[in-house]
Every structure is written in structure tokens, then in C-alpha cells.
Amino acid sequence: MVKAAAAAAIGRRAQDGVILDLRELDGFTDYFAIFSGASDIQVEGISEAVVEELEQNWQQRPWHREGARKADWILLDYVDFVVHIFLAERRDYYNLERLWAEAERVELPVLERTPLPEPDAYDEDALILGLQEE
């Protein structure tokens, strides 16, 4: 389920994703999934995507949620794993990866992305002439 949460975050363009396996470190949870967003709006959007994915496809809701008001660090606690979504500067400040440096990293899911279509070719001379006529 942690990989489903990660896939939802990546689908919302979350950056610098990492999943840490804490099971061998006697942590209070099995995994941390950590992501960054470029703005508070994106952080909230990533959070909503994770919650929606796990509610719809896994029938799971977060046991606890923090940080939605400020949206510089949102924490979604699913008991067996915790999803952390940070603004980049807040993530650098707390540096959870350093605190849990001994944790094994889990491979993130890879999403297939449909490439953006090529822009239509245009006739540069006709475009310039059209602008000059206006």
C-alpha cells in the first residue's frame, strides 16, 4: 500500500520521492514515504491525491493527519506507514533521511507518462504577415 501512496504522489508531480524501510530499526511504523512539492498548493494537492487513492482503491483512510492548514509539511499516518509531504525548504530543515540514514530505501514505482504532443507546425512567414496586417 505504501507504493500505491507513492504512485499517487508521483502522479501529482511530487519531487525527490523516497521510501524508507524502518522495520529493522524498531521504528513506530514500517515505512516512511517522503516527497517534496514546489508550493503549498502542490503539497496539498499531493496529499489529496494520496488520500483519494488509498480511500478509493484500498478502503483506507489516514488514522491521523497533520499540517493541512499551513501545507508546508503534511503528514498522513496510516499506522503501517507514514507519508510526509514537504515544501523543499522545510524538508531540508528537518532532513528525515539523515535522521533515518540506516533505513533501507525501497524502490519507487515508475509511472508511464504519455508524452506531450508536439506543437503544430506553423508557417512563420504567414504568422508574421498576419501580425503586420493587424
Domain containing residue 61: CATH number = 3.30.460.10
Q: Are 76 and 65 in contact (CB under 8 A)?
A: yes
Looking at residue 106, its pLDDT comes to 94
Within a domain: residue 28? yes
pLDDT < 50 stretches in the chain? none
Enter the pTM of the model: 0.80
Residue 132 falls in which region: left (phi positive, over 0), alpha (psi -120 to 50) or beta: alpha
Domain boundaries, position 30: 2-109
Of 125, 108, 88, the C-alpha closest to 32 is 108
Looking at residue 131, its pLDDT comes to 57
Looking at residue 49, its pLDDT comes to 97
Looking at residue 119, its pLDDT comes to 59
Q: Are 2 and 19 in contact (CB under 8 A)?
A: yes
Give the three cell numbers for residue 89.
525548504
Q: How many domains does the chain have?
A: 1
